[in-house]
Amino acid sequence: MPMDEIVVRYFTCDELLGGRQFRAAVHALDYKVAAQDQYSALLAFEDVHRGLLRWWVWNEQTWKLTPEDVAKTKPDFDAAVAAMLSSLDESSRAAYEARESDLVIRGFTSDVAATLARAPLLANAFALLAAAKSTKLALGATAPLFLRAGRQLQLDTFDEILLSQVPANPWERRFYTSLEREASVVRQRAVGKLAADKDFVDHHREWIDRIGDSLGMVKQLGQHGLVPLYLILEDYRQHT
């Protein structure tokens, strides 16, 4: 993809995220918040851009968004994040609130703290909007399914382990990227399965437990689990 197109997409995402306002708010905290915490906040915000951009590149045939569409898309984007936030289970809600509280204690304003605490949800906003469109369900109904796919089907654990991998060469980097892309596709398909069958998890309990055991073993391999993760992803593909 041409670099100029990537730049356009970056700033399109940035407008949806309110990037200029966020950075201004962080920089306004100079000498009030530890510099390391400020840098960490800015890097975490850039990770949100990375998540949105990579999903967009993987789905560019169906996901169309131009800078002119930002104003029209912004309400849907914000609604997707709000739907995920309201659909968090008790444990995830407690973790979110603890993260937000910690950021406020560190000196960040409530708005900045809320944005940073919502970072994982922001990064998944495009994916949720696409899932709602494909399942033909409202955001309020799709968000719980999207989160359940990650939690109950072990896809959050898969993504966590994949993120910990360190490719040793350009070929492994390409392999890593292909796994990221396919994991995103599997999650979208899993949402559809959960929407079509409310008892999908119960019907596939044995398989899900087997996936969990396999992921536990891969986790013990540390940074050398790309091939086992590929095999696990093949298992996901057969069931979603």
Within this chain, do residues 130 and 48 fall inside the same structural domain, yes or no? yes
pTM reported for the whole predicted model: 0.91
For residues 11-35, one letter each, b for 16 or more C-beta atoms within 10 angstroms of the residue's C-beta and e for the rest, the string is: ebbbbbbebeebeebbeebeeebee
List the domain range (segments joined by +) for residue 75. Answer: 1-137
**Is 76 among the domain residues?**
yes
Please identify, among 111, 137, 163, the residue that sits at the C-terminal boundary of a domain. 137
Within this chain, do residues 129 and 170 fall inside the same structural domain, yes or no? no
Range with the largest mean pLDDT of 54-63, 112-121, 218-227: 112-121
**Is 112 among the domain residues?**
yes
**Is 147 among the domain residues?**
no
What spatial distance separates the first Cα and last Cα of the chain, rounded to whole Å?
30
**Is 145 among the domain residues?**
no
**Is 101 among the domain residues?**
yes
pLDDT, tens only, 124-167: 999 999 999 999 999 999 999 999 999 999 999 999 999 899 88
Is the per-residue pLDDT at 1 higher than 80?
no
Within this chain, do residues 92 and 171 fall inside the same structural domain, yes or no? no
Within this chain, do residues 172 and 107 fall inside the same structural domain, yes or no? no
As for how many domains the chain has, the answer is: 2
| Higher-pLDDT residue of 104, 3 | 104
Within this chain, do residues 59 and 108 fall inside the same structural domain, yes or no? yes
d(CA 78, CA 81): 5
**Is 146 among the domain residues?**
no
